[in-house]
């Protein structure tokens, strides 16, 4: 087991990629903290992985602070934070509402800031830690109808690189993954014709599965990745080349 005894917080841990990650991390021996919005979903996944489930909205700082104190009370430390929670609310620039902009930025960007800022003092105390952020191919390439989402995911890359520079000397490694198109509830909303067109642009000619991303989270959390810092790893089957 690669992660025996490690305490791993996974935000969005009840969703497509997050749930798969919760299961894989538990199989690697980690104590998994499943953080997501819906209390029932959180409890279901937490029970499945024999972990701790906390219903929290990452855009709400008070809830995030409560979440971190619960984890510290239970386990006394935090080894890995995976900032995986994210949403889309798509519209073209001209049609995008203020609410669509604010909501996506508050979860995908400010939520990552909240969780990391709340967790990092505990990692500094231990002199070690891993932060793994979930960006997107869209954060580098933009995407039609996703001004808010693309901006938030570009911000995730900028925060990753900034924190890698700030925290490396304290033994904390900060990296990001940039998934392409992964089959989850997030992509279920897309019409079949769009997904088909997408497959033709992917060198591997298939969409990704949640485990394709979750396995990279595990790698970045493991001892094997101890000299990787500030990286943004594409997990897109070659869509971005």
Smallest distance, Å, CB 116 to ligand NAI? 14
Whole-angstrom CA distances from 78 to 49, 61, 103, 128, 129 are 17, 18, 28, 9, 7
Among 8, 45, 182, 233, indicate the residue that binds ligand NAI (CB under 6 A): 182
Smallest distance, Å, CB 208 to ligand NAI? 7
227 is catalytic: no
Does position 197 bind ligand NAI by CB under 6 A? no
Question: Per CB under 6 A, which region of 44-52, 82-90, 189-197, 221-229 contacts ligand NAI?
Answer: 82-90
User: Cα torsion for 60, 71, 55, 153, to the nearest 10°?
Assistant: 50
Does position 237 bind ligand NAI by CB under 6 A? no
Smallest distance, Å, CB 104 to ligand NAI? 9
**Cβ proximity to ligand NAI, 192 vs 223, nearer residue:** 192
Q: Which of residues 148-177 bind ligand NAI (CB under 6 A)?
A: none
Does position 18 bind ligand NAI by CB under 6 A? yes
Question: Per CB under 6 A, which region of 24-32, 71-79, 163-171, 181-189 contacts ligand NAI?
Answer: 181-189
Question: Mind telling me the catalytic residues?
Answer: 149
Residue numbers at the binding site for ligand NAI (CB under 6 A): 11-12, 14-18, 36-37, 56-59, 84-87, 107, 111, 134, 136, 179, 181-182, 184-187
């Amino acid at each position: 087991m690669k992660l025996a005894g490690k305490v791993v917080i996974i935000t969005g841990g009840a969703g497509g990629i997050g749930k798969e990650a919760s299961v894989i991390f538990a199989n690697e021996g980690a104590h998994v903290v499943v953080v997501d919005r819906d209390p029932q979903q959180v409890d279901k996944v937490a029970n499945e992985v024999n972990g701790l489930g906390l219903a929290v909205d990452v855009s709400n700082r008070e809830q995030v602070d409560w979440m971190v104190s619960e984890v510290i009370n239970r386990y006394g430390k935090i080894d890995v934070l995976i900032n995986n929670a994210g949403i889309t609310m798509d519209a073209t620039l001209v049609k995008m509402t203020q609410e669509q902009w604010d909501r996506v930025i508050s979860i995908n960007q400010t939520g990552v800031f909240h969780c990391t800022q709340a967790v990092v003092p505990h990692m500094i105390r231990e002199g070690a830690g891993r932060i793994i952020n979930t960006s997107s191919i869209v954060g580098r390439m933009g995407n039609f109808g996703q001004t808010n989402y693309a901006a938030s995911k570009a911000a995730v890359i900028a925060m990753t690189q900034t924190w890698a520079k700030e925290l490396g000397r304290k033994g904390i490694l900060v990296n990001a993954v940039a998934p392409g198109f992964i089959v989850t509830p997030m992509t279920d909303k897309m019409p079949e014709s769009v997904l088909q067109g997408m497959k033709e642009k992917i060198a591997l000619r298939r969409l990704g599965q949640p485990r394709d991303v979750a396995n990279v989270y595990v790698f970045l959390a493991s001892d094997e990745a101890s000299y990787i810092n500030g990286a943004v790893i594409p997990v897109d089957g070659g869509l971005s080349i």
